[in-house]
């Protein structure tokens, strides 16, 4: 009895104490931290770690460890996975592998473009070359895949960036392109396919959203929600969607990046459209929902606040752009970093929105920050920073 109590207590304690940001845009790909401890307004650079190669992937955080990927070498064939100590930025381990797929990308992006993800015990690192590695938290290689080695026409000459998600023991990996386009659900233990489905033959850089125990796959055709265990369709919205910014779910609604923003209330097998605002046009950045409001960054670097109830615009705030990465949020603040490396803290509750603070990172940043343990992690091609 006493032991059970201790166990329950320790389990509860660990789930509260552990600070995780396990995938692109954090918890369920919402971009909003669920932790009670939030970063303060007066952020400073706590530490910076050197990175040996390029990367548009965001860092992820599992407990006290920060994981980040890079690609280096003349053709970006060397694929790095790093684990740093969150406390001081010291390196715990690094693994360097070699691409088995194609490494050609547009100059602006690179092979380390997909953000890794974790189920808390394992880290899954996917690269644009379609190389996929599963490590435990101590850097032991658990399994690997070469998805272009498996499916030779699965590649995009501009580069791919779809970040994997993991749910209930299935890793969902997308390789959606003009040729051999697919999404697969892999067993997290073995890396073997549980299911694999053909996807629209069209280049796609969006990442899946986890929403109400489904994985919502976005493409130019729309959004297909599948059961992660089987790949079977749960619902299908077929009115088209963006191929760059990804949708976001909050509460009972999925805010699809489709004809501006289209608010959807999918039920099993059916999708009800709640509202649509075609003026809420996302640029490259994906939207987020904070409280009762939706925030969209348009192509001109303007942050637009709109009601989640009807899509009505509340205000527009011109920020210092341009942006390739997406905004993230914690507590009552939104954080975003522009391509010139200006990190911006925004108060979205100010009457017209307000930029509270700027930190110049002095490097090109094309990626999305991550939030964990009251700190923010940002990376460039050469550095990983902790802001606290």
Partner 1 sequence: MKSSFVCLFALAAVSLQAAEYLSKPLDVLRAVQKEGQGNEAAGKAWQEIVKADPAALPEVLKGMNGANPLAENWLRAAVGVIADEALKAKKLPVEALVTFLKNTQNSPGARVVAFDLIHRADEKLAEELTPTLLEDPSSDLRRHPVAKLIEAGDAALEKKDKDAAVVAYGKGLGGARDEDQIKVLAKKLRALDQKVDLPKHFGFLMSWKMIAPFSNADRAGFDTVYPPEKELKFDAVYEGKTKEAKWVDFTSTDEYGKIDFNKPFGMEKSVVGYAATDFFSTEDRPAEIRIGCKDGWKVWLNGELLFARDEYHRGAKLDQYKLPCQLKKGKNTILVKCCQNEQTEQWTVEWEFQLRVCDATGTAIVAAK
Contacts with partner 1 by CB under 8 A lie at 73-75, 93-98, 100, 102, 104, 106, 131, 133, 139-146, 149-150, 152-153, 155-158, 177-179, 186, 189-193, 201, 203
* Cβ pair 349, 359 in contact under 8 A: no
Q: What are phi and psi of 46, to 5 degrees?
A: -80, -45
- HEC string of the chain equals CHHHHHHHHHHHHHHHHCCCECCCCCHHHCCECCCCCCCCCCCCEEEEEECCCECCCCCEEECCEEEEEEEECCCCCEEEEEEEECCCCCEEEEEEEECCCCCCCCCCCCCCCCCCEECCCEEEEECCCCEEEEEECCCCEEEEEEHHHHCCCCCCCCCCCCCCEEECCEEEEEECCCCCCEEEEEECCCCCEEEEEECCCCCCCCCCEEECCEEEEEECCEEEEECCCCCCEEEEECCCCCCCCCCEEECCEEEEECCCEEEEEEECCEEEEEEEECCCCCCCCCCEEECCEEEEECCCCEEEEEECCCCCEEEEEECCCCCCCCCEEECCEEEEECCCCEEEEEECCCCCCEEEEEEECCCCCCCCCEEECCEEEEECCCEEEEEC
**Structure tokens that stand for 275 in this block:** 């509202």
CA 59, CA 70: separation in Å to the nearest integer?
10
Determine the distance from the C-alpha atom of residue 24 to the mean position of all C-alpha atoms in its chain, rounded to a whole number. 2
**Structure tokens that stand for 316 in this block:** 């527009």
Q: How far is the CB of 109 from partner 1 (least distance, A)?
A: 11
Q: How far is the CB of 78 from partner 1 (least distance, A)?
A: 10
- Half-sphere exposure at residue 377, Cβ-oriented, CA atoms within 13 angstroms: 32
- Closer by beta carbon to partner 1, 153 or else 310: 153
CA 173, CA 208: separation in Å to the nearest integer?
9
Residue 67, Cβ neighbours under 10 Å: how many? 28
Q: How far is the CB of 69 from partner 1 (least distance, A)?
A: 14
């Amino acid at each position: 009895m006493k032991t059970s109590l201790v166990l329950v207590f320790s389990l509860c304690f660990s789930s509260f104490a552990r600070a995780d940001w396990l995938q692109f845009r954090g918890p369920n790909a919402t971009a909003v931290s669920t932790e009670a401890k939030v970063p303060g307004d007066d952020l400073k650079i706590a530490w910076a770690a050197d990175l040996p190669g390029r990367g548009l992937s965001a860092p992820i955080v599992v407990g006290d460890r920060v994981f980040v990927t890079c690609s280096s070498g003349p053709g970006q064939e060397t694929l790095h996975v790093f684990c740093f100590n969150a406390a001081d930025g010291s390196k715990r381990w690094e693994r360097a592998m070699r691409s088995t797929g194609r490494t050609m990308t547009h100059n602006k992006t690179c092979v380390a473009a997909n953000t890794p993800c974790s189920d808390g015990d394992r880290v899954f690192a996917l690269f644009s070359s379609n190389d996929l590695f599963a490590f435990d938290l101590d850097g032991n290689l658990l399994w690997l895949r070469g998805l272009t080695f498996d499916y030779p026409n699965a590649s995009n000459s501009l580069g791919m960036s779809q970040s994997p998600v993991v749910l209930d023991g299935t890793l969902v990996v997308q390789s959606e392109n003009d040729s051999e386009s697919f999404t697969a659900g892999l067993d997290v233990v073995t890396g073997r396919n549980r299911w694999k489905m053909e996807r629209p033959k069209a280049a796609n850089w969006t990442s899946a959203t986890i929403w109400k125990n489904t994985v919502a796959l976005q493409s130019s055709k729309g959004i297909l929600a599948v059961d992660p265990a089987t790949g079977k369709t749960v619902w299908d919205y077929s009115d088209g969607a963006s191929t760059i910014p990804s949708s976001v779910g909050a509460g009972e609604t999925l805010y699809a990046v489709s004809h501006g923003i289209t608010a959807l209330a999918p039920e099993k097998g059916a999708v009800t459209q709640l509202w649509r605002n075609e003026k809420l046009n996302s640029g490259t950045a994906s939207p987020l929902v904070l409280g009762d409001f939706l925030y969209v960054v348009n192509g001109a670097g303007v942050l637009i606040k709109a009601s989640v109830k009807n899509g009505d615009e509340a205000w527009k705030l011109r920020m210092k752009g341009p942006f390739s990465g997406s905004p993230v949020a914690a507590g009552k603040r939104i954080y975003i970093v522009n391509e010139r490396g200006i990190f911006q803290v925004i108060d979205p509750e100010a009457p017209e929105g307000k930029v509270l603070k700027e930190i110049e990172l002095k490097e090109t940043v094309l990626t999305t920050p991550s939030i964990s343990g009251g700190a923010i992690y940002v990376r460039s091609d050469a550095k990983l920073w902790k802001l606290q």
